[in-house]
Structure 1
Amino acid sequence: MVLRSCWKSRHKNRPGTGPGPGPSAAARGVRAGSAALLWLCVTQFACAGGELAEITKVVQKDAEFDVTYNDTVTSENQTIYAFNHTVSRNRTEGVRVSVDVLSQGFESPILFVVRQKQAVLSFQIPLILRGLYQRKYPYNHVGRTLCQPPTRAASETQYFFVDVSTLSSQGTNYQLRVSRVESFTLHTDKKFSFTASPSQPQYFKYDFPDGVDTVIVKVNSDATFPCSVMSIQDIQCPVYDLDNNVAFIGMYQTMTKKGAITVQRKDFPSNSFYVVVVVKTEDEACGGPLRFYPLWPDELINAGNRSKFIDVIVTPAIKSEVYVMGMLFCLGIFLSFYLLTLLMTCLENKRSSILFLNVCVCVCVSTAKTPASPYEYGSFGKCVCGLLVMSFCFRSLDSVGRSRHESLSSVEEDDYDTLDDINSDKNIVRTKKYLYVADLSRKDKRILSKKYQIYFWNIATIAVFYALPVVQLVITYQTVVNVTGNQDICFYNFLCAHPLGALSAFNNILSNLGYVLLGLLFLLIVLKRDIIHQRALVRNDFNALECGIPKHFGLYYAMGTALMMEGLLSACYHVCPNYTNFQFDTSFMYMIAGLCMLKLYQKRHPDINASAYTAYACLAGVIFFSVLGVVFGKGNTVFWIVFSVIHILATMLLSTQLYYMGRWRLDSGILRRILNVIDTDCIRQCSGPIGRLQSVRVFLLCRAAYGLIERPNDFASYLLAIAICNLLLYFAFYIIMKLRSGERIQCMALVCILFTAVVWGFALYFFFQGLSTWQKTPAESREHNRDCILLSFFDDHDIWHFLSSIAMFGSFLVLMTMDDDLDGIQRDKIFAF
């Protein structure tokens, strides 16, 4: 009965229901909203707690666009503004409702309800938006854009109503204005500017033109703050355009100065979408300073002026032909290295064949003997050529060995220990003042070969067990990004992120192909050298048995495998780059740096090089600290102190192991022996290994002090920089000692060194461009985003991938070829350093 009386009272006051002329168009529209009036009665009945007090007076007005209505609302009266407009299928225009409350200190909020054909939009004033720690921000001026439901007719008249009500007994003054948004549709390659605030969000419509399947929506602003959110939503009602609901649907990302989202037609069945821009109530999400924490959670905080001027432009993305060109370019670069290697191999084989025939012919002519048969000639030539090579080896050994020895010290009998057992006991052998490679390559070659092959099999096993979970995890990351639409999860260069299928940045993944292809090429080169060496051993070639640096290829195989895995894991990292999976990109970089240092040390110390199990255990410890640094290292002084102490101790132990050729013990007498050696070798004569360790101590202290003082946020990169610096220093030391020992660098190795150095220089230039960084917030990272610079497909970081893979391949070649000049020198004449 109460609801019936409410209905009669409201229906009696409606225009067009009493005597007089026929109803107007507006009245007919009101009649169409009879059900809504019943809903208002139910609402009022519920709000009154089931007891209907005094009947509220309802006033309905026919309203017009672009007219400002000043009115007062109390609990005793309610106003309904009726609007109508013509909607055309071929023309889209927006409708914006702006409300401003003029009264101060009103006791109850005003409720505005906008009833449309297919949607209901409601908001209160003051509009309360929540921030961090549930802090509340009130806004008395609100502007909202009404969603536009699609129409099938060519032209249709639609009605909508704005209901204003409150439970306040005091009169509250407000202003209402409904206007048309003429520039509601965005156009391709045409910049559009507007202003937005937390209580006045903006959104606009974009229709895909014919022939365009993918576009990039770019949003720019001159001001860093206030922080804002850009969202891409399908054409539907309601549109989520407030700070507390903008992340409900579609794709979204926070932004300060830059924002970009790639949108594909296949994701929007209506071939159109909304570009929504919302200004946040706080700036913490964009890296702004934290505000004062309020004493009470319900305290209202003055929001202040947080309007932001923004430009938006929609540009077509690249076409499928550019994808094809990018893939062909990537393949062409690295397959050219295969062709170059094949060409050089053919030329080398041809030159070796010609040299071999010329030597044989010269020897046979000098013998002045005519062979009785072709078979006899061939046998005779082979025999003489072999003798010639052996005599050449012995002759060069004496001359080069003497020059090297004389270049380092005077040849005196006091320089050597003349005991007989110096050739049998390794503790005595390593007491020589000058050690040679022969002194440190006394173990059986077959045992050493199996020892170093373990490096390859172990790293292959590690790669399988490491890569499979990584691939599974990054697929999950990409799925989460695609399902939730949260573009802040991954730190892409959004201005040059070209999607393909489910992948958001296919170009960053494709550019890692070089690591895999060049790593495979290096394995093929190592395999060729390994086969040639094994054949030489089978025929008891003197050079292979007694001359040159002992050839063990297990570490080379491990290095090639590590390069391929670096490409695979770097591609996995770039599926969704962020701080939680950055170790995927760096793990095998540690492996490569460690294996290169081991290979450099193995060249002159094959007998005392670390085993595969020890080496990989140490590298596992490095990766373990890398993960700890990412999780706990940011600003944690205790962690940095513990790490620096462990770092210094571990490096000092390793340095001692290297300098003393493995002939020292860690036991209870270690301190007494250290003091004794410091007294004899450092204080009294300042020579020996302890003297050489002084520079290591200084370098370690400087490096540890830098870490403790600066405490960089990117701990993984800091740790990787330590490994690379150690490798470069050891590399430089090796080359300097090689030249100082009277050895030379052949043309091939010299070309590789110069080429690699130049490529590394260009690679580091592109690396430090810093297109994105997960050390900052996603919005701050996007400030560094830049457009593609190569084929409209690759950015600076992709070029880094290209150049760094080539530079690593060149570095491996340098390691392999830099001692080729010693292939004809006996090992007891080659210095160990």
Structure 2
Amino acid sequence: MVLRSCWKSRHKSRSGAADCLLRPGWTVLLWLCVTLVACASGVVGETKNVVQKDAEFDVTYNDTVTSENQTIYAFNHTVSRNKTEGVRVSVDVSSQGSESPILFVVRQKQAVLSFQVPLILRGLYQRKYPYNHLGRTLCQPPTRAASETQYFFVDVSTLSSQGTNYQLRVSRVESFTLQTDKKFSFTASPSQPQYFKYDFPDGVDTVIVKVSSDTNFPCSVMSIQDIQCPVYDLDNNVAFIGMYQTMTKKGAITVQRKDFPSYSFYVVVVVKTEDEACGGPLPYYPLRPDELTDAGNRSKVLDVVVSPAINSEVYVMGMLFCLGIFLSFYLLTLLVACLENKRMGKRRELFQNPADMSPAETGNPATTDNCSTLSSEAITDSATSTDNNYGYMERTLDSVGRSRQESLSSVEEDDYDTLDDIDSDKNIVRTKKFLCVSDLARKDKRILSKKYQIYFWNIATIAVFYALPVIQLVITYQTVVNVTGNQDICYYNFLCAHPLGALSAFNNILSNLGYVMLGLLFLLIVLKRDIVHNRALVRNDVNALECGIPKHFGLFYAMGTALMMEGLLSACYHVCPNYTNFQFDTSFMYMIAGLCMLKLYQKRHPDINASAYTAYACLAAVIFFSVLGVVFGKGNMVFWIVFSVIHILATLLLSTQLYYMGRWRLDSGVLRRIVYVIYTDCIRQCSGPMYIDRMVLLVMGNIVNWSLAAYGLIKTPNDFASYLLAIAICNLLLYFAFYIIMKLRSGERIQCLALVCILFTAVVWGFALYFFFQGLSTWQKTPAESREHNRDCILLSFFDDHDIWHFLSSIAMFGSFLVWTCS
């Protein structure tokens, strides 16, 4: 055999073999002798001295290895089916050289584990970190027998010709199997990862694995892996299988029994070589990519505890509680509607018997609550706003009772009358003894109704085209999380994230049900009012025709639709909340704030309110800046300067639009007109403002907005979306306060129902904001830093602080909408 192998090794070419066969016999014999000597010398040179030793547990073996000797340590231990013991191999090498490392190979019954010392782990930018002290836990293959003896071998070899000293110790791991609700402490490092086994007890289908530490760094990774060999427990392979997440102080993963056929799993904890993944600083940048960096001391003490998660009864209770809260609003609304119908029935009976009525009950426009006298400024606003370029329809007093059943097809918004006596009709209206808000609405009601219906149809179209790709995207996100097991993709509150089916945090999705249900209830309320008002117009009811604020319900329908869409998109966002889909949760918040301000403005200025196209274009610009702020605003002073300038300019333009009621033009002569106004009103005669109340509002609004712009420029907050939303909410609250004050100044009174709604909504908003600022997670930081804010459930063991924010904010928004309808 040796001759044959040597013949093949020396004659690899077909022509060489043929020449050998043609040579004389003595030549062939001499050649065979030379070849035999060469092969014999090669075999002897490659022979190693292999030594096998019977080894024992908990004994430290000090030995030396070279390229000429190889040592095999033979171990045996008894494995029981009902008891799992961990086996850990610890190696320490004194040599610092890495050119010829020592190779350790552990051969087991169903697995082979190999590693070299020094162990080289790579970090960012291909940094190399050597580790001379290693500790690895051996995986334990399951056994079918009640008890059996298993053997495993540790082979030690190297290619270095110089002797290298090493220490080898194999020991049993105490408490290798984790117990339910019992904390276990351990120490881990990049070269000494740890993992433990957990078996699902009978009757437990879901558990939460919590790993915690007192220190932020070094950065760690916790992983949940099935019981199989090999176990991936190094920084460069821990993400290969199972579920995993980075952590600093806190980490939690919900594990379901159905995902593991053996009803058991490994909890693996690995310390990373660098802290960049957890938001920590990086070491110095290496001069060369292959430069070895000192690994340093990166040991970390951690605690692990496995607790049972909630059962199906808690899921049912959570869903019933959520439905019960919001269905109670439907019942309460039905009760109020019944009481209101009963009261209106008695009122109609009184109208049928006018002899029994007091003067205050006659329905005179001067005395009814629905028709209020107006301040001189309101009259002036109407007078100065009827000649602008919006094209107002002339409307005489006789045309007030015109039936709503006329065709709308012939009425267009841009129709206008150019008669010279248009002002005479205005004077006729103003000579009425009791002037109502409806008398100052000069445009035809049918035109305005069509104009405001566009708000609803536009937002419905936006909702459809916005929601469909959002739903598709979040389904993809959830699928990626489930397939890859990378739980750093989504920013959940992992200590209170209850899965259901493919969803990882069903409770955060369920809590958004309030927005949808209360938004639908608000639409039903508006629809009922719309139907009642139309019936009153058909029967020529004087109160519906002449008194009160002109009824246009298009903006109300848009507000209800926006509230429902906020719930849907917030639920989509919470399927996988992260940096790339934040706008799903905030887009319709901006729309709700904008629509509410437009509705308040429309209550006193129905003829000159912005069109739907202009309003939605402005809201689209706000959302566009929101995206830019999140992507480019973090620490970018140039962006903040540009945004602050745009914010201030927009505030000035809007102030001018509101003060002059739209009767100004932005063209090349605007600067000349500004200088002229300043000269005539401030320098020449120093006259006060024509509209004092409006000027006070605009001055306060500019102070607030300029202050917010200065705050953003100085602080440059990381959460730009919340900062932009705060600007919208502050302006809405400011304008609402001005609206209430002007109602009182004009002699109107706030009805009892509206006052109750205002107080109730203010209290609910206060509690809602408290829970909002708890901040259980934040995508402005790394996933590991976000998990530091995670907290346990506080309501029914199912809902967390953010879920309560969803409950309260949906109720508060619904109450705010009711205030808008009542005020």
Q: TM-score, normalised by structure 1?
A: 0.85
Tell me, yes or no, if the aligned pair for 2:187 and 2:302 is still in contact at 8 Å: yes
1:771 maps to what in 2? 776
1:733 maps to what in 2? 738
Query: Which of 111-120 and 736-745 deviates more?
Result: 736-745
2:69 maps to what in 1? 77
2:31 maps to what in 1? none
C-alpha deviation, 1:717, in angstroms: 1.1
1:782 to 787, 791, 808: 787
Query: Which of 732-741 and 329-338 deviates more?
Result: 732-741
2:177 to 185, 188, 191: 185
1:252 maps to what in 2? 244
Q: Which amino acid aligns with 2:245?
A: Q
Q: Secondary structure at the match of 1:771?
A: coil
Distance (Å, rounded) in 1 between the aligned partners of 2:371 and 2:172? 96
1:93 to 85, 88, 97: 85
Tell me, yes or no, if the aligned pair for 2:570 and 2:585 is still in contact at 8 Å: yes
Q: Which amino acid aligns with 1:770?
A: G
Q: Secondary structure at the match of 1:792?
A: coil
1:638 maps to what in 2? 638
Distance (Å, rounded) in 1 between the aligned partners of 2:514 and 2:424? 48
Q: Secondary structure at the match of 2:114?
A: strand
Tell me, yes or no, if the aligned pair for 2:92 and 2:133 is still in contact at 8 Å: yes
Shift in alpha-carbon separation, 1:288–1:424, aligned structure 2, 3 A:
farther
C-alpha deviation, 1:137, in angstroms: 0.7
1:719 maps to what in 2? 724
2:822 maps to what in 1? 817
1:9 maps to what in 2? none
C-alpha deviation, 1:126, in angstroms: 0.5
Distance (Å, rounded) in 2 between the aligned partners of 1:76 and 1:440? 106
Distance (Å, rounded) in 2 between the aligned partners of 1:572 and 1:398? 42
Identical counterparts, % of pairs: 85
Encode CA deviations 1:362-394: one digit per residue, 9 max, x unaligned.
62x79xxxxxxxxxxxxxxxxxx9x99666324
Encode CA deviations 1:748-801: one digit per residue, 9 max, x unaligned.
000000000000000000000111111111111111111100000000000000
Q: Secondary structure at the match of 1:456?
A: helix
1:24 maps to what in 2? none
Shift in alpha-carbon separation, 1:562–1:397, aligned structure 2, 3 A:
closer
Query: Which of 131-140 and 806-815 deviates more?
Result: 131-140
2:325 maps to what in 1? 333
Distance (Å, rounded) in 2 between the aligned partners of 1:118 and 1:424? 101
2:14 maps to what in 1? none
Distance (Å, rounded) in 1 between the aligned partners of 2:254 and 2:287? 43
C-alpha deviation, 1:704, in angstroms: 1.8
1:159 equivalent to 2:151? Answer yes
1:654 maps to what in 2? 654
Q: Which amino acid aligns with 2:689?
A: S
Shift in alpha-carbon separation, 1:720–1:2, aligned structure 2, 3 A:
farther
1:792 equivalent to 2:797? Answer yes
**Structure 1 segment 521-532 matched on structure 2, within 5 A:** 521-532=521-532
1:123 maps to what in 2? 115
Encode CA deviations 1:550-581: one digit per residue, 9 max, x unaligned.
11000000000000000000000000011110
Tell me, yes or no, if the aligned pair for 1:682 and 1:691 is still in contact at 8 Å: no
C-alpha deviation, 1:685, in angstroms: 2.0
Distance (Å, rounded) in 2 between the aligned partners of 1:4 and 1:642? 84
Distance (Å, rounded) in 2 between the aligned partners of 1:449 and 1:335? 32
Q: Secondary structure at the match of 1:211?
A: coil
C-alpha deviation, 1:653, in angstroms: 1.6
Shift in alpha-carbon separation, 1:724–1:159, aligned structure 2, 3 A:
same
Distance (Å, rounded) in 1 between the aligned partners of 2:775 and 2:369? 52
Q: Secondary structure at the match of 1:72?
A: strand
Shift in alpha-carbon separation, 1:544–1:105, aligned structure 2, 3 A:
same
C-alpha deviation, 1:680, in angstroms: 2.7
Aligned length: 743
Encode CA deviations 1:622-679: one digit per residue, 9 max, x unaligned.
1111111121111122222222222222222222111111111111111111111222
1:559 maps to what in 2? 559
Q: Which amino acid aligns with 1:208?
A: F
Distance (Å, rounded) in 2 between the aligned partners of 1:771 and 1:3? 76
Tell me, yes or no, if the aligned pair for 1:111 and 1:124 is still in contact at 8 Å: yes
1:56 to 28, 41, 48: 48
Encode CA deviations 1:594-619: one digit per residue, 9 max, x unaligned.
00000000000000001111111111
Shift in alpha-carbon separation, 1:321–1:389, aligned structure 2, 3 A:
same
Distance (Å, rounded) in 2 between the aligned partners of 1:471 and 1:790? 28
**Structure 1 segment 204-353 matched on structure 2, within 5 A:** 204-353=196-345
Distance (Å, rounded) in 2 between the aligned partners of 1:398 and 1:85? 91
C-alpha deviation, 1:4, in angstroms: 11
Shift in alpha-carbon separation, 1:635–1:670, aligned structure 2, 3 A:
same
Cα RMSD, aligned residues only: 2.8
1:513 maps to what in 2? 513
1:469 maps to what in 2? 469
Distance (Å, rounded) in 2 between the aligned partners of 1:396 and 1:78? 105
1:747 equivalent to 2:763? Answer no
C-alpha deviation, 1:548, in angstroms: 0.7
Query: Which of 152-161 and 455-464 deviates more?
Result: 152-161
2:711 maps to what in 1? 706
Q: Secondary structure at the match of 1:179?
A: strand
1:103 equivalent to 2:75? Answer no
1:10 maps to what in 2? none
2:162 to 136, 146, 170: 170
Distance (Å, rounded) in 2 between the aligned partners of 1:736 and 1:4? 109
C-alpha deviation, 1:708, in angstroms: 1.6
Distance (Å, rounded) in 1 between the aligned partners of 2:96 and 2:496? 50
Query: Which of 651-660 and 139-148 deviates more?
Result: 651-660
Tell me, yes or no, if the aligned pair for 2:102 and 2:118 is still in contact at 8 Å: yes
Tell me, yes or no, if the aligned pair for 1:234 and 1:274 is still in contact at 8 Å: yes
Distance (Å, rounded) in 2 between the aligned partners of 1:787 and 1:585? 23
2:589 maps to what in 1? 589
Distance (Å, rounded) in 1 between the aligned partners of 2:193 and 2:256? 24
Q: Secondary structure at the match of 1:175?
A: strand
Distance (Å, rounded) in 1 between the aligned partners of 2:614 and 2:763? 34
Shift in alpha-carbon separation, 1:438–1:182, aligned structure 2, 3 A:
closer
Distance (Å, rounded) in 2 between the aligned partners of 1:569 and 1:118? 50
Distance (Å, rounded) in 2 between the aligned partners of 1:713 and 1:732? 30
Distance (Å, rounded) in 2 between the aligned partners of 1:331 and 1:701? 43
C-alpha deviation, 1:105, in angstroms: 4.2
Distance (Å, rounded) in 2 between the aligned partners of 1:439 and 1:670? 33
Distance (Å, rounded) in 2 between the aligned partners of 1:546 and 1:81? 102
Distance (Å, rounded) in 1 between the aligned partners of 2:780 and 2:3? 61
1:401 maps to what in 2? 373
1:144 equivalent to 2:136? Answer yes
Q: Which amino acid aligns with 1:340?
A: L
Q: Which amino acid aligns with 1:737?
A: M
Shift in alpha-carbon separation, 1:319–1:399, aligned structure 2, 3 A:
closer
Shift in alpha-carbon separation, 1:398–1:652, aligned structure 2, 3 A:
closer
Distance (Å, rounded) in 2 between the aligned partners of 1:397 and 1:134? 77
Encode CA deviations 1:67-98: one digit per residue, 9 max, x unaligned.
11000001111101111111111110011000
Shift in alpha-carbon separation, 1:250–1:438, aligned structure 2, 3 A:
same
Shift in alpha-carbon separation, 1:515–1:244, aligned structure 2, 3 A:
same
Distance (Å, rounded) in 1 between the aligned partners of 2:140 and 2:255? 21
1:612 maps to what in 2? 612
Encode CA deviations 1:471-513: one digit per residue, 9 max, x unaligned.
0000000000000000110000000000000000000000000
Shift in alpha-carbon separation, 1:295–1:51, aligned structure 2, 3 A:
farther
Distance (Å, rounded) in 2 between the aligned partners of 1:52 and 1:792? 73
Tell me, yes or no, if the aligned pair for 1:82 and 1:162 is still in contact at 8 Å: yes
Query: Which of 288-297 and 93-102 deviates more?
Result: 288-297
1:680 maps to what in 2? 680
Shift in alpha-carbon separation, 1:400–1:662, aligned structure 2, 3 A:
closer
Q: Which runs of 5+ in 2 are unaligned?
A: 7-41, 381-385, 388-418
Q: Secondary structure at the match of 1:649?
A: helix
C-alpha deviation, 1:420, in angstroms: 9.1
Tell me, yes or no, if the aligned pair for 2:96 and 2:118 is still in contact at 8 Å: no
Q: Secondary structure at the match of 2:280?
A: coil
Distance (Å, rounded) in 2 between the aligned partners of 1:400 and 1:457? 32
